[in-house]
Amino acid sequence: MSYITKSPWLVHYDGSSCNGCDIEVLACLTPLYDVERFGIVNTGNPKHADIFLVTGGVNTQNYPVVKQIYEQIPDPKVVIAVGTCACSGGVFHDCYNMLGGMDKAIPVDVYVPGCAARPESIIDGVVKGLAVLEEKQKAMAIPVREKQALREKELEPGVAVNKSQEAGK
């Protein structure tokens, strides 16, 4: 088993939801659910994160924000859409400014439905995300010589995104 499944750090972004899912995500950190026992840390920093936990739908205003956070996360990474809004846009779906669910902006790996999603189902979603994460890391394990060439080229974030999108699809 790779170490990434034992120490998934997540960054949480709340799009345009009612904040209900946001609060349920924070509830996961409390003594009752305590996700840290799985090594999960809620970092506020996308550059340290492995999992992008996103609640709420994507609209014209937060579209570039979501994109940027996603691009700042180093590979391998997984996106988990938490709540009905993040899955499909939810009750906000037909608003004039809405683009829809999070998959309209970035590739989503795991969908956690619910309004609001229960902490148990969020944790379940993260565990499902771990399997994807492990697979992505295996795909990343390219020959050493090739890796060295990439390191020397200083992989730009944009290139990295395209690569992982291919790997994810």
Partner 1 sequence: MSDMVCNIVSGIVYLILAPVIGGLLAGIDRKISARMQRRVGPPITQPFYDFFKLWDKQPVAVNKAQRFYIRGFLLFAILSGFFFFAHGDLLLVIFTLTIASVCFVIAAYASNSPYSQVGAERELAQTMAYEPMMLLVALGFYLHCGTFDAKAIVQSPAMNFIYMPGIFIGLCYILLIKFRKSPFDLSMSHEVHQELIQGALTEISGPTLAMIELAHWYENVLLLGFVYLFFAWAPIWTPVVGIAMCALTYFSDIVVDNCCSRMKWEHMLSSAWVVTLVAGFANVAFLMYMR
Query: Distance between CA 60 and CA 128 in Å, rounded?
Result: 29
Query: Distance between CA 102 and CA 57 in Å, rounded?
Result: 6
Q: 48, 76 in Cβ contact below 8 A?
A: no
Binding flags for partner 1, 107-146, as an x/- string (CB under 8 A): ------------------------------x--x------
149 upstream amide cis, omega within 30 of 0: no
* DSSP 8-state secondary structure symbol assigned to residue 9: E
Q: How far is the CB of 5 from partner 1 (least distance, A)?
A: 9
Q: Is 6 in the site for partner 1 (CB under 8 A)?
A: yes
Total number of residues that touch partner 1 (CB under 8 A): 29
Q: How far is the CB of 85 from partner 1 (least distance, A)?
A: 24
Q: How far is the CB of 89 from partner 1 (least distance, A)?
A: 28
Q: How far is the CB of 76 from partner 1 (least distance, A)?
A: 8
Q: How far is the CB of 53 from partner 1 (least distance, A)?
A: 14
What are 153's two structure tokens? Answer: 């080229």
> If we measure between CA atoms, which residue out of 139, 113, 6 comes closest to residue 55?
113
Stretch in the footprint of partner 1 (CB under 8 A) among 19-27, 28-36, 84-92, 111-119: 28-36
Phi and psi at residue 145, to the nearest 5°: -65, -40
How far is the first Cα of the chain from the last one, in angstroms, to the nearest whole number?
23
* Footprint (CB under 8 A) of partner 1, residues 52-111: 74-76
- By CB under 8 A, name the binding residues for partner 1: 2-4, 6-7, 9, 31, 34, 36-39, 41, 43-45, 47-48, 50, 74-76, 137, 140, 151, 154-155, 157, 160
